[in-house]
Structure 1
Amino acid sequence: MTNTEGKAPWLPPRWFIRTAWRVHRFLYRLGGTRFLREAAPGKGGMLRLVVTGRRTGAERAVILAYVQDGDRLVTLAMNGWGETPPLWWLNLRANPEATAQTVEGIVRVRAREAVGAEREELWRRLGATEGWGDIEGFAAGRPVETPVVVLDPVRGA
């Protein structure tokens, strides 16, 4: 699975990606929900996910791109398309309960990895969504499969 030129897409250096994440978190602290975007049909949104640290038990927040699938929120567990999983995903695997904040409000969610036919369908939808880029090409450059993460709302929360 590569892009049309047959080579893996270019990725910025790791220091650049980490700096961009820090800037994004800083801007969120300054502007709050102004930097979140609502997902629309064919267009991804931005949410703030608050997870519990698997070692510290402290709250950790990250801004993620997502698509809406009914009442579920769907994202990819990628670390700048690097090989290692993002820390937020490792934290969710240890404790799947989290809080997702979108422009529509805050909701308690339970995270899980999509598998099989569900994963393939959601992967296809993510790839067809504006803003995700060439996910097939980026994924081809990784030695591991990119997890598709489903954030199911917790009923009664």
Structure 2
Amino acid sequence: MAASPTPPPLINGSSGRRIKDSDRRFIRVLTGTHRRILAAGSGRILGRMGGHPLLILTTTGRRTGRPYSTPVIGIPSGADWLVVASNGGAATQPLWLRNIAASAQVTIRHANQAEPFHARILPASERSQRWPDLVQAYPPYGKMQAKTDRELPVVLLTRTHPA
């Protein structure tokens, strides 16, 4: 197997939506509530966005070693999933992406099933090939990309065992 290209550096942008500390706290509460609703309802309640399933992505904290879970839009890619680290078009990378850069082993909960996955941040060449399809699948990604000067990373989630 050939070595995969080095993933892009996780550089924050200089322009994009700014998230105030007070908004960050609100977002954290809202995300936690949404995550609990998704888990309790097995994804049947508030489990889709733009026609795509919301997955609960669990990463390992790069500093704490604790699990962190957040809902993300999952775009199917065969047996795998693609997720975009949009952070709503903010200038900063989402924290879950930094956790993936430190540890690629993640868990995805979809419906009522949790499975281990390997996360890979796509290099620029592979990202550019997939980007038009992602924007077609979920048009707000194009608007989010236009808000910031950072390139929104795309992550490929691959099952670590056969489905």
The aligned runs of 1:6-17 (5 Å cut-off) are 15=23
State, as a whole percentage, how many aligned pairs show the same letter. Answer: 27
Q: Which runs of 5+ in 1 are unaligned?
A: 1-10
Give the secondary-structure state (helix, strand or coil) at the position aligned to 1:33.
Answer: coil
Aligned partners of 2:69 and 2:159: how far apart in 1?
18
| Whole-Å separation in 1 of the counterparts to 2:115 and 2:55 | 11
Shift in alpha-carbon separation, 1:45–1:58, aligned structure 2, 3 A: same
Give the equivalent residue in structure 2 for 1:51: 59
Deviation of the 1:33 alpha carbon: 3.3
Specify the SS of the correspondent of 1:34: coil
Please state how far the C-alpha of 1:152 moved relative to its aligned partner.
Answer: 1.0
The alpha carbon displacement at 1:26 in A equals: 4.1
Alpha-carbon distance change, 38 to 152 in structure 1, aligned in 2, over 3 angstroms? farther
2:148 is aligned to 142
Counterparts of 1:78 and 1:51 in 2: how far apart (Å)? 17
User: 2:131 is matched with which residue?
Assistant: 123
- How far apart in 1 are the matches of 2:162 and 2:136? 33
Residue of structure 2 in register with 1:27 after alignment: 37
- In the alignment of these two chains, the number of paired residues is 144
Q: CA-atom RMSD, angstroms?
A: 2.9
When residues 136 and 123 of structure 1 are mapped into structure 2, their CA distance, relative to the original with a 3 A threshold, is: same
State the alpha-carbon separation in 2 of the partners of residues 126 and 97 from structure 1: 23
Deviations 1:92-149 (A, max 9, x none): 11001011111272221111112244312321121111xx333223212212110011
Partners in 2 of 1:23 and 1:56 — Cα distance?
A: 22
